[in-house]
Amino acid sequence: MPVFDTRSIRDFPIGNIPLRDHHATLPKDCSIHPEAWIDARDLAALADQGEGSLIDESGLPLAWFSESPASGPALQASNSFVIRHPWDLLRANELHVSLLAESWIPADLSPLVSIDGCVRIGEGTKLLPGVVIEGNVVIGANCKIGPNCYLRGNTSIGDHCHVGNAVEIKNSILLSHTNVGHLSYVGDSVLGEKVNFGAGTMTSNLRHDGRNHRTMVGETLVDTGRRKFGCIVGDGVHTGINTSIYPGRKLFPGTSTLPGEIVRRDVHA
């Protein structure tokens, strides 16, 4: 799957922090499934229980304090799960970023930037006039944001990224060195490293009938469980200007599109 082809799930950043580093903040006496997102509220409930394991809907152990996950009663997780598919990253990012309570904002922020929500901005990042941020957003170091762009939802943007004029990013994950420079919309999507969206590239994230999006995993059409779901874009993808991407489509690492192309099916290398 794109974004997983070039890195392990444990190395993937959630809120710009690799999953393995999230695990490192958990209690040392707690065993964790290596590819699980563990919600602090679920873990607190397990600690209060004092024994047993935290399990997902299928009964798979996610976390346990005992020597074996089979020891003691099982507690059904509410917000913890194994990251199996790229859209699970969006769910983990939503949960993590939505709970951020402390903003990190440069002292020299332009008065022509509007912020409503908790925002964390890395060192050396510039927000140009006309940037509007709504909701909790994480932006890495040495990025250029704006002018006149709109960031909303629980969005994470990595280091050395450029989000430019008349661009809207909603509830998405952008990894480092990725550029969405002009006149584009990215919604409910995951973009890998060193991606470049040509001017006017648009992602669609909503079916006309309002039903959940489905996408191909191998030879199987899988229900993502998401009513809003854009695209999954691997590392090094370049789109031509005015590319339109159907919901739930995947662009594999190193692929590209032509100017004006409509992406109706997954784009494989």
Catalytic residue annotation: 182
Give the single-character DSSP code of 188: S
Retrieve residue 176's tokens. Answer: 């480092």
- Give Dmax (Cα) for the chain: 58
Bond prior to 69 in cis (omega within 30° of 0)? no
- Beta pairing, strands 162-165 & 144-145: parallel
Q: Residue 6's closest CA among 131, 132, 176? A: 176
Helix (H) or strand (E) holding 41: helix 40-49
Say which residues have a Cβ less than 8 Å from residue 154's Cβ, sequence separation at least 6. Answer: 93, 94, 96, 97, 98, 135, 136, 137, 171
Give the amino acid at 230: G
- Beta pairing, strands 61-64 & 53-55: antiparallel
67 phi/psi in degrees, rounded to 5: -65, -30
Q: Residue 253's closest CA among 230, 231, 269? A: 269
Spatial contact of 225 and 243, defined as CB atoms under 8 Å apart? no
Spatial contact of 226 and 212, defined as CB atoms under 8 Å apart? yes
CA 159, CA 196: separation in Å to the nearest integer? Answer: 14
